Amino acid sequence: MIQLGVNIDHVASVRNARYRGPEVAQGEPDPVRAAHEAELGGADGITVHLREDRRHITDRDLELLSRLARIKLNLEMAATDEMVGIARRLTPHTAMLVPEGRNEVTTEGGLDVQAGAARLSPIVAALKDAGLIVSAFIDADKAQVEACVALGIDVCEVHTGPYAAAFASAGGDFRRKALATELDKVRAAGEHIRAAGLRFNAGHALNYHNVAPVAALMGVSELHIGHAIISRAVFTGLREAVREMKHLMLAAGRR
């Protein structure tokens, strides 16, 4: 059954718009409380990205989540010595390697595992040595899947940003070739991932309008969704926003 990982980074973004430094610990909304609300809404996992500049999630948030979360904790992280040390110490359920740019608003593309294999190899080994499941956020590209297999990565999360952009441009009309093509790329990548014995996850820019076709893909294990759910929660509350997304995903999976 398909699972939902809720990214709560932007709960911290709202908090950090008002609170800085030592005040963050007492600031609201608290991402740790958000994780509990997401769990009550039916989330199967919590995703956070501890960035180098700590622009949203902070070390305090991650420390508390690692102790208090009652569902899977997925740590998105750059492939740096600092982040490897944090992951090995706190042991989230999954360490997900992502590209990171200081000036980007959000992650802009998949990690180039193929080009960075020599640099990534000891990082993957160190994470696996700590007992972590290692995931990589990659573009829908067979060569990237094969590079993940060679490194011993356990999970490939396929970047759905291009699909989401095509969906918006086409108004969700799959008679538009560009949209059908982007979904086919995600599907094909998923087939390569599963054939190699890895877990097939997907995420990025998925929302309540475009999620169903991705959730319906054969063998997709998890979708990681953040901004759309946190945005909906402003109007409905986080439990209900998570519940609605999970309902859409499960209904699509059954179809």
In this prediction, residue 107 carries a pLDDT of 63
Q: Which amino acid is at 113?
A: V
* Number of structural domains the chain divides into: 1
Query: If pLDDT is split at 50, 70 and 90, which confidence band does 105 have?
Result: low
Give the C-alpha separation, 223 to 210, whole Å.
12
The mean pLDDT value for 130-139 works out to 98
Give catalytic residues, as residue numbers: 49, 76, 204
Query: If pLDDT is split at 50, 70 and 90, which confidence band does 112 have?
Result: very high
| Pairing between β-strand 199-203 and β-strand 94-97 as defined by DSSP bridges | unpaired
Domain span holding position 114? 3-254
Nearest 10 degrees: Cα torsion 207, 182, 76, 46:
30
| Cα end-to-end span (Å), the chain | 12
- Render pLDDT for 158-203 as a digit per residue (tens, 0 to 9): 999 999 999 999 999 999 999 999 999 999 999 999 999 999 999 9
- In the predicted model, what is the mean pLDDT of the chain? 96
Q: Are 31 and 249 in contact (CB under 8 A)?
A: no
The mean pLDDT value for 109-135 works out to 97
Backbone angles phi, psi at 72, to 5 degrees: -60, 140
Burial class of 67 by CB neighbour count within 10 A (0 to 12, 13 to 18, 19+): exposed
pTM above threshold 0.85: yes
Q: Which amino acid is at 41?
A: G
State both tokens at 232.
Answer: 């909906």
Q: Are 226 and 238 in contact (CB under 8 A)?
A: no
CATH code for position 15: 3.20.20.70
- Render pLDDT for 36-84 as a digit per residue (tens, 0 to 9): 999 999 999 999 999 999 999 999 999 999 999 999 999 999 999 999 9
In Å, what is the CA distance from 68 to each residue of 111, 178, 188, 236? 30, 43, 37, 25
Does residue 255 surpass a pLDDT of 80? Answer: no
Give the C-alpha separation, 3 to 200, whole Å.
11
Does residue 100 surpass a pLDDT of 60? Answer: yes
